[in-house]
Amino acid sequence: MNKVVLVTGSAKGIGAAIIKELASCGYDCVINYHTSESEAYALNEEIKKYNIRSLVIKCDVSNEEEVDNMFNIIEAKLGGVDILINNAAVDIPNIFSHKKVEDFKLTLDVNLIGAFLTAKRAERHILDKKWGRIINISSTNGMNTYYPMGIEYDASKAALNSLTHNLAIEFAPYATVNAIAPGLINTENEIKDYDEEFMQMELDKILVRRIGEASEVAKLVKFLISDDASYINNTIIRIDGGQYNSI
């Protein structure tokens, strides 16, 4: 039986790239979306060529009842989640004086609480099987590359890194828990509002002098969930082309 992977927020961007990569390797895939319904079902059609089992499930990962229902569906139809990729995230950039408390809370609810809820719900299956993988998609913004217009996003990703370390202890020795921290990645949500001057400024901070691709993040995920990475645990791995903060 193929291992079952749930990728939250996987209708577009990095999440969709992860689904495509893992489906091509024979993993059974659960595509989770909240608002991007048409993209989620289009992705599901695309991966059918790999002859794997797949599901599309709408779920707000910040809602405990919806998360529980999503896992109930997966367990009933596919047996349970062996590999959890916490990718769902929101980013609401704005100048500091215009920041709203509700936007800060929403960002924490999705980016941090969502990862907590899915990991908590995945625990029973992973402990029963005595095997599992959890990968949290963090960001260099949660480490030492900061962007004040996204202050709540940065805070959520820093907290996600802390959550990763605690989950690694909680799930030991049966599951490895790691986080991946991408830098500037070529997705619609990442670069749609950047002008040419800003993009050049950011590229100048990247040692390889180019933007990353979602497929490159997906390949790192593929390695970390493989048996070849079974001794990599409790760590945050940057994938950013050697990005540094010049501020």
Which residue numbers are catalytic? 153
Residue 17 φ then ψ, to 5°: -65, -40
Residue 133 φ then ψ, to 5°: -140, 135
- 236: alpha, beta or left? (left if phi > 0; alpha if psi -120 to 50): beta
Tokens of 132: 């599992």
Alpha-carbon span 36 to 108, nearest angstrom: 20
